Chain A
Amino acid sequence: MGLVVSAIAFLFAVAVLGAAAKRLPQASTVVYGGTAAACALIALWAALRLAGGGPDAALVLPVGLPWIQAHLRADALSAVFLIVVNLGGITASLFGWGYERAHHDSHSGPQGGSQDGPVLPLYPLFLAGMNMVLIAADAFTFLLSWEFMSLASWLLVLSTHREPETPKAARLYIIMASFGTACLLLAFGVLATAHGDYSFAAIRDHAPAAGAAALVVVLILLGAGSKAGLVPLHVWLPLAHPAAPSHVSALMSGVMTKVAVYAMIRVLFDLLGEPDWWWGGVTMGFGALTAVMGVLYALMQDDVKRLLAYSTVENIGAIVIALGLALVFKAAHTPVIAALALAAALLHVVNHSLFKSLLFFAAGAMLTATGSRDLNRLGGLIHRMPTTAVLALIGATAISALPPLNGFVGEWLLFQAILNAPALSEWSLKIEIAVVGAALALATALAAACFVRLYGIAFLGRPRSRAAGEAVEVGRAMRLGMAVPAVLCVVLGVLPTPLIRLFEPALRLLVEAGPFDGRAYQPWFWLAPTSAIGNSYNGLIMLVVIALLSVVLVLGIHRKASDRVRWSIPWGCGFDGPDPAAVTQYTASSFGQPIRRAFGSTVFRARDHVDMPAPGDTRPARLSVTWTDPAWVVVVEPLSRAVGWLAEKANRLQFLTIRRYLTLMFLALVVLLVMVAVTQR
């Protein structure tokens, strides 16, 4: 534990160093190198801890509020998330180092390029904040770290303040973050009321009564949910995540949302004691809504990074569905299946942090190479950036849940858990789980469409702008930063069992069962979880067979078939000239149109407006697409009106006389004393 705390302290030191020496050319090397080293140390420590077992590491620091102290503790659950956060930290540092240098060379860098000052000192602080949340073991330290993480990321978003959209994104982010922290504060307040002790150990021992627990569930879903991006609290996320520099976007989207998931698991599974069945029902419902809406939003975006941020919303939805299922099964006293669902959630947490980082890095590489993140200005990058194209293809395939990559394994486990729903006793839950299963399947299929669109428009086809046609491959550090998560995506897809075994202590801690309990013997490389339904999947054999069949096929075809190849210009719909692509190539919007029409017209009120000139008129025809986000109409606008109204009222307090101020204080004192009297009796 001392090691983790020293590593976090080291991150602070690196931040100070970065702030002091930000003008020096070596500053970025020091900051990113130091951050990567600290992250590697923590990740290694957590992995050894998980694999080796042993008692939880704990530490009490004499800091914080005078009579509370700071309790730190790393149990198996913390260790799992420490690995996720710091793995993300390592690759992001590697990528960020290259990114920084690439943008340093071209001073007139595009969005994300003008990182002259604030990124260097803030970047290690952001990682330190996330690590602190994971090892906090009392409510005060937790909230302090949470707020620290939020503020650091908020300042990182603001580091691109020259972009026109950033101020708006940052303002919305700080509002939502404050809202989330307020909810968490209230939740911990309710949790601690029984004995007034804020340490997690005390809260765990005195689980609150049913009414208070219900309040905490709702508050935690609002508080952590707003950070994770649960619909309809997601509105800030697609604005704020893309605004930061790309490696920070990757951390915010791939990793920080996982810290929010950690908070949900910590409270719902650990601190609150025995769950009620409806907790899972509500959680699952939010998850299903989030998954489907998230991917539909993503399908309508033309901005690469915003699309990726919306896709994070979808993936968080899938994770939250798995959490809800685990809660339901835990409440129904079927711990093995709860463990299966929770293993699916944790696996998806790891998977998503890998492929989302990878895809954000790829977006950063595109931005570096072309100066644009607008899909309609990219195209044909597979020719200009071959390595990035291959790595991004792995990411797109993995996130679309295609076998034999890792995204599919998580999906498969989750479906296996869903299939156990008939064992439950509540009718409403059975029906809900069937519908949630359908929603998850729909979201997965739409995600595949979304990433065909992203990859096809950005990397395939012909360049849609001069910059895309002249793009050059990014530097070695950036390519390596992408390669590490890409390789892990493949490895985890083919051999997921060791990782799931690594989760086992965390699962035993939370649901008192492992995912492989009581299953028939299988060699270790088989994925055959226990369930009422006996199934198995083996990515390794699948990969070997695919490779074998491909070899047979290629050899067979090339022995028999003609291998003459002629290159020619494809037909451009009658448009003449050397390159008709500009006029006839499919755009991102045209690709999305059928799906927008099938799904968006009711939910988003998506409309295509065609302005067609009369025959003989020579002005160009024009097609415009409009759509409205229902979350803005339902949540954000009323909320902002309410905040405005409240601020207006509160503003008057500034202009009271002394006498009125004193009266106010006196009244507050009376109210508090009455409350104390009532509760003491």
Chain B
Amino acid sequence: MTLLLATFYQILQMLLVLALAPLLTGWVRLVKARLVGRRGPSMAQPYRDLLRLLRKEVVLARNASWLFRAVPYMMFTAIWLAAGLVPVFTTQLALAPTADLIALIALLGSARFFLALAGMDTGTSFGGIGSSREMMIAALAEPAMLMIVFSVAILVRSTSLAEIADFMLSGAVGLRISLALALIALVMVAIAENARIPIDNPATHLELTMVHEAMVLEYSGRHLALVEAASMLKMLLYMALIACVFAPWGMATAGSGVAAALGGVAVFVAKLAVGGTLLALFETSIAKMRVFRVGEFLGGALLLSLLGAIFLYVSRGV
């Protein structure tokens, strides 16, 4: 019975993240437009964009291989699964024991690995630029992310996200310097991984600065729709992850009933709205960085997270 309910919640969550991801992107765009004094498109615009792309024909570079056509599906599946693993409205998820935080990071790593390969498949210079920059950014962002996981895992004595959320909900944590360091580092990593300002600008096609867009430049039609949807999902995933680890309030736990789960959904939507607003505020108040300064930015994130982990390693005798 519990497993059945957990499976139901799992499926519900997979659908929920899928449905909400474009909405979040629309919301961030809308808030950004308002902040700079434009009216901005409707929040439903990302849905329309995706549907329009799905209806268009696919234009493939003449020497694109099967890998190029398979990658959007592989990447979307990996990110979708990862998003399904982060508890958003309840910690009672059927897949929770299958993969912990480390596996989740590795899943995102797989998505990036294949997308970077796809960027190199057509043999144009833009794809190469994008892939090589993306892998450079990942080389720093991924260890920073793992150090954050270490900090949290030491504190909670688990790398399972459901257990982390349960522990944080129990209120036994209090305020901790290491957690604050980890939160800052996680936000920095999230900004870099989602190709947001100041690391990358999702709205430009300027060859000197673009990273993510350069990789997916040759995609069109349904492939592009999948790639775009996957990056929307990824942004939602990172917000859900931050919410799950650092602000799990309002989430239902095992055995707290269906009403609590429904409440959890409402609270999650509210969290996304707040997160999106904060992201838009941040992005409008800062300028884009040079690509080679990204190393310093993420090196900072890595050091912060390592410092947080060391504090915990030293202070905590288990």
Query: Is this pair of chains taken from one and the same complex?
Result: yes
- Chain A contacts with B in 593-620, Cβ cutoff 8 A: 593-595, 597-599
Which of B19-27, B38-46, B92-100, B274-282 binds A?
Answer: B92-100
- Chain B contacts with A in 149-197, Cβ cutoff 8 A: 150, 153-154, 157-160, 163
Q: Is B267 an interface residue (CB 8 A)?
A: no
Question: A455 and B123: CB pair below 8 A?
Answer: no
Residue of B nearest to A541 (CB): B98
Question: A456 and B99: CB pair below 8 A?
Answer: no
Q: In the complex, what residues of A have CB within 8 A of residue B95's CB?
A: 541, 545
Question: B309 and A584: CB pair below 8 A?
Answer: no
Residue of B nearest to A379 (CB): B123
With the chains together, A409 CA to B117 CA distance in Å?
23
Question: B313 and A422: CB pair below 8 A?
Answer: yes
Q: In the complex, what residues of B have CB within 8 A of residue A411's CB?
A: 106
Which of B29-37, B137-145, B239-247, B250-258 binds A?
Answer: B137-145
Which one, A430, A533, A566, contacts B60 given CB within 8 A?
A: A566
Which one, B56, B112, B317, contacts A425 given CB within 8 A?
A: B317
Q: Is B302 an interface residue (CB 8 A)?
A: yes
Question: A538 and B139: CB pair below 8 A?
Answer: no
Q: In the complex, what residues of A have CB within 8 A of residue B97's CB?
A: 526, 528, 536, 538
Question: A460 and B222: CB pair below 8 A?
Answer: no
Which of A9-17, A76-84, A240-248, A439-447 binds B?
Answer: A439-447
With the chains together, A420 CA to B313 CA distance in Å?
9
Q: In the complex, what residues of A have CB within 8 A of residue B56's CB?
A: 562
Q: A452-B131, A532-B318 are in contact. Are A434 and B150 (CB under 8 A)?
A: yes
Q: In the complex, what residues of A have CB within 8 A of residue B234's CB?
A: none
Which one, B54, B63, B80, B139, contacts A595 given CB within 8 A?
A: B139
With the chains together, A421 CA to B312 CA distance in Å?
10
Q: Is A143 an interface residue (CB 8 A)?
A: no
With the chains together, A564 CA to B58 CA distance in Å?
6
> How many residues in A have their beta carbons less than 8 Å from beta carbons of B?
91
Question: B313 and A421: CB pair below 8 A?
Answer: yes
Question: A456 and B117: CB pair below 8 A?
Answer: yes
Q: Quote the shortest CB–CB distance from B306 to chain A (angstroms).
A: 5
Q: Quote the shortest CB–CB distance from A382 to chain B (angstroms).
A: 4
Q: Is B289 an interface residue (CB 8 A)?
A: no
Q: Is B113 an interface residue (CB 8 A)?
A: yes
Question: B54 and A557: CB pair below 8 A?
Answer: yes
Residue of B nearest to A526 (CB): B97
* 0/1 interface trace, chain B 89-132, chain A, CB 8 Å (1 if under): 00000010111101100110110110011011111110111011
Question: A549 and B54: CB pair below 8 A?
Answer: no
Which one, A416, A423, A456, A533, contacts B131 given CB within 8 A?
A: A456
Q: Quote the shortest CB–CB distance from A111 to chain B (angstroms).
A: 26
Residue of A nearest to B308 (CB): A434
Question: B314 and A430: CB pair below 8 A?
Answer: yes
Q: In the complex, what residues of A have CB within 8 A of residue B142's CB?
A: 441, 444-445, 448
With the chains together, A441 CA to B148 CA distance in Å?
11
Residue of A nearest to B295 (CB): A598
Interface magnitude class on chain B: 35 or more
Q: In the complex, what residues of B have CB within 8 A of residue A408's CB?
A: 103, 106
Q: Quote the shortest CB–CB distance from B30 to chain A (angstroms).
A: 26
Q: Quote the shortest CB–CB distance from A357 to chain B (angstroms).
A: 21
Q: In the complex, what residues of A have CB within 8 A of residue B133's CB?
A: 594
Q: Quote the shortest CB–CB distance from B251 to chain A (angstroms).
A: 20
Q: In the complex, what residues of B have CB within 8 A of residue A401's CB?
A: 106, 109
Q: In the complex, what residues of B have CB within 8 A of residue A571's CB?
A: 124
Question: B310 and A431: CB pair below 8 A?
Answer: yes
Question: B77 and A412: CB pair below 8 A?
Answer: no
- Chain A contacts with B in 455-469, Cβ cutoff 8 A: 455-457, 460-462
- The interface residues of chain A, by DSSP majority, are classed as helix
Q: A422-B316, A434-B150, A557-B54 are in contact. Are A403 and B124 (CB under 8 A)?
A: no
* 0/1 interface trace, chain B 286-318, chain A, CB 8 Å (1 if under): 000001100100000010001001101110111
- Chain A contacts with B in 523-561, Cβ cutoff 8 A: 526, 528, 532-538, 541-542, 545-546, 549-550, 553-554, 557, 560-561
Q: Is A433 an interface residue (CB 8 A)?
A: yes
With the chains together, A31 CA to B254 CA distance in Å?
63
Q: Is A499 an interface residue (CB 8 A)?
A: no
Q: Quote the shortest CB–CB distance from B162 to chain A (angstroms).
A: 11
With the chains together, A379 CA to B295 CA distance in Å?
29
Q: Is B6 an interface residue (CB 8 A)?
A: no
Question: A438 and B302: CB pair below 8 A?
Answer: yes
- Chain B contacts with A in 208-245, Cβ cutoff 8 A: 218, 221-222, 225-226
Q: Is A33 an interface residue (CB 8 A)?
A: no
- Chain A contacts with B in 374-389, Cβ cutoff 8 A: 379-380, 382-383, 389
Q: A419-B153, A419-B154, A445-B139 are in contact. Are A380 and B102 (CB under 8 A)?
A: no
Q: In the complex, what residues of A have CB within 8 A of residue B135's CB?
A: 448-449, 452-453, 595
Question: B147 and A462: CB pair below 8 A?
Answer: no
Q: A422-B313, A438-B147, A542-B98 are in contact. Are A572 and B106 (CB under 8 A)?
A: no
Q: Is A25 an interface residue (CB 8 A)?
A: no
Q: Is A277 an interface residue (CB 8 A)?
A: no
Q: In the complex, what residues of B have CB within 8 A of residue A633's CB?
A: none
Question: A561 and B131: CB pair below 8 A?
Answer: no
Residue of A nearest to B157 (CB): A533
Question: A549 and B77: CB pair below 8 A?
Answer: yes
Q: In the complex, what residues of B have CB within 8 A of residue A393's CB?
A: 67
Question: A535 and B100: CB pair below 8 A?
Answer: yes
Q: Is A402 an interface residue (CB 8 A)?
A: yes
With the chains together, A425 CA to B135 CA distance in Å?
38
Which one, B80, B124, B141, contacts A584 given CB within 8 A?
A: B124
Interface residues of B (CB under 8 A from A): 14, 54-63, 65-67, 73-74, 76-78, 80-81, 95, 97-100, 102-103, 106-107, 109-110, 112-113, 116-117, 119-125, 127-129, 131-133, 135-136, 138-143, 146-147, 150, 153-154, 157-160, 163, 218, 221-222, 225-226, 291-292, 295, 302, 306, 309-310, 312-314, 316-318
Known: A420-B318, A449-B135, A586-B132. 16 other contacts (CB 8 A): A412-B103, A430-B314, A431-B313, A438-B146, A449-B138, A456-B117, A460-B123, A538-B99, A545-B81, A561-B225, A566-B57, A568-B62, A569-B61, A571-B124, A585-B125, A597-B295
17 A–B pairs (Cβ distance < 8 Å), ordered by A: A380-B63, A423-B318, A452-B120, A461-B63, A528-B97, A535-B100, A549-B14, A550-B73, A560-B54, A562-B221, A566-B57, A566-B59, A570-B62, A570-B122, A590-B128, A598-B136, A598-B139
The 5 closest A-B pairs by CB, nearest first: A586-B128, A456-B120, A461-B123, A441-B143, A564-B57
